[in-house]
Each structure stands twice: as C-alpha cells, then as structure tokens.
Amino acid sequence: MLSSEAVELHLRGRFGKPYLYEPECESTQQLLVDSGLPEGAVAATDHQTGGRGRLGRTWEEPAGSSVLVSVLLHPPAERRLPELSLVAALAVAETVELAVVLAAQVKWPNDVMLNRRKVAGILSELSDGTVVVGIGINVNQTRDQLPLGAPTEPASLRTATGTTYDRAVLLGSLLMRLERMYDVWLDAGLDGIYGGLGARDFLRGRRITADGEPATAVQILRDGRLEIETDSGEVKALESGEVLFAR
C-alpha cells in the first residue's frame, strides 16, 4: 500500500509534507489542484477510477499495482514549465534503474522507457501559478493487466524483470530524487541535469513521426525542446506534442 504509514518512513526531505493518501480516488491530480497546499505536498493512491494521461487520454491500472502520485510545485513564473516534465522523467528513470538494475530512458517529452517499452508517464498541469506533476509507474502488473492499444507499447517493472517490487519503497526513493533534481533545476535550469538527461535520451537517432511527418530525432536540446530532422531535410525544434517511433 502507499498509505502514510508505509511511505512516510522513507521520506526525509520536504517533498511529502503533507502526504495525502486515499486508498482509491478519481485522480491524484484533483487532490492537489487549487488545494492551497505548500510546495512539496504529495497525493498518492492505490487505485484511480478516472486516471488522466496526456493529450486527453486515460491512465488505467488494476488496484494495488502501480505508483500513482502527484506532487505540488510552485516554480518561479518565468521558468519554462515543459522542462519540469523532463526533470520528473529523469527522476523516475533513475529511480527505476536503481530498482531494476537495467538502463531506463526518457522518451521526450514525458515517458520513461525500459526495454523499448513505456513503464511510466508524466502529466504536468499548470493552474494559477502552481504546477501539479502527476506520475504513474507501472510496477507489478502482469502482461495481461497492461492496457491494450496504447500508442507506445507498455511494460511494467514486473514484465521487464519477472520480479515484483515494494511500491512504497519506490515512491519514497522517487520523491527524494525528484526533490533533489527539482532543486538543481531551480538553481541551474535544465543544464544542471542535462548530463543525466542526454545520456538517457531514448529518441536520439531514432526514426520517428512527429505530427504525422517522418523524421529522425536528433536530440533533446539544453532548453528541453526536441531537435529533429525531417525527411525533407529541415532541422527544427519541437516544443511539445507526441512523437511516435518505429520499433
């Protein structure tokens, strides 16, 4: 369970203060939006009945299988918010790597990949100067419990390794790492974490389709945009959107 009792003993920083837990809720995002809570407030659940993904999609999981968490942040207004999804994605990738002892990658702009499959997604929502960063990690689902028909083929830590994982330990480790990475980003911007990010850039050099156009991904740039070269030879930087890759 991701109850306060299970998770709080793994928390030593300011993220997770307060720590809101519901055994089941519609979406952890809703527990923090317009809550007036301080930066670092966290909401977690063992099951969402209306989990939200990016681009209007749903995020579904069997109860008790996943890490489902939202974190409230108050970043300075002038900062580029899409960068925050990359900060969170890198924190998730490092957390996953430490747990499964396999290399994880960040698929721009907001997915975490293991063995070329998506194990986690991030949804950052801005409202009134606060950002709610929602993170879903597929942890203990079996293959047949993963969603069908997702644009990027899904996996869980369990399907990737054959082992089950303690979700509370994972969440504690994620929140510590996210806090450290967020602080680096506040101080130094994306440059401060670019070493880790560039080394885990899943799309680099891959054949992709960006908004329907065939292209090759060049790299995640230091400002968080994705540089691509279209098949007609145009080099451009994408701000956001969805990129599909050829498996």
What are the residues binding ligand BTN (CB under 6 A)? Answer: 27-29, 48, 51-54, 57, 59, 68-70, 111, 121-123, 134-136
Least distance CB 191 / ligand BTN (angstroms)? 25
Is 147 or 196 the residue whose CB approaches ligand BTN more closely? 147
Least distance CB 206 / ligand BTN (angstroms)? 18
Is 135 or 228 the residue whose CB approaches ligand BTN more closely? 135
Is 152 or 216 the residue whose CB approaches ligand BTN more closely? 152
CA dist., res. 121 & res. 113, Å (int): 9
Least distance CB 229 / ligand BTN (angstroms)? 26
Is 57 or 204 the residue whose CB approaches ligand BTN more closely? 57
Least distance CB 123 / ligand BTN (angstroms)? 4
CA dist., res. 84 & res. 191, Å (int): 13
Least distance CB 186 / ligand BTN (angstroms)? 22
Least distance CB 211 / ligand BTN (angstroms)? 17
Is 65 or 70 the residue whose CB approaches ligand BTN more closely? 70
Secondary structure string (H, E, C) spanning 78-94: CCCCHHHHHHHHHHHHH
Q: Measured at CB, which residue is nearest to ligand BTN?
A: 121
Least distance CB 96 / ligand BTN (angstroms)? 14
Is 151 or 214 the residue whose CB approaches ligand BTN more closely? 151
Under a CB-based contact definition with an 8 Å cutoff, are residues 93 and 112 in contact? yes
Is 54 or 177 the residue whose CB approaches ligand BTN more closely? 54
Secondary structure string (H, E, C) spanning the chain: CCCHHHHHCCCCCCCCCCEEEECCECCHHHHHCCCCCCCCCEEEECCECCCECHHHCECCCCCCCEEEEEEEECCCCCCCCHHHHHHHHHHHHHHHHHHHCCCEEEECCCEEEECCEEEEEEEEEEECCEEEEEEEEECCCCHHHCCCCCCCCECCHHHHHCCCCCHHHHHHHHHHHHHHHHHHHHHHHHHHHHHHHHHCECCCCCEEEECCEEEEEEEECCCCCEEEEECCCCEEEECCCCEEECC
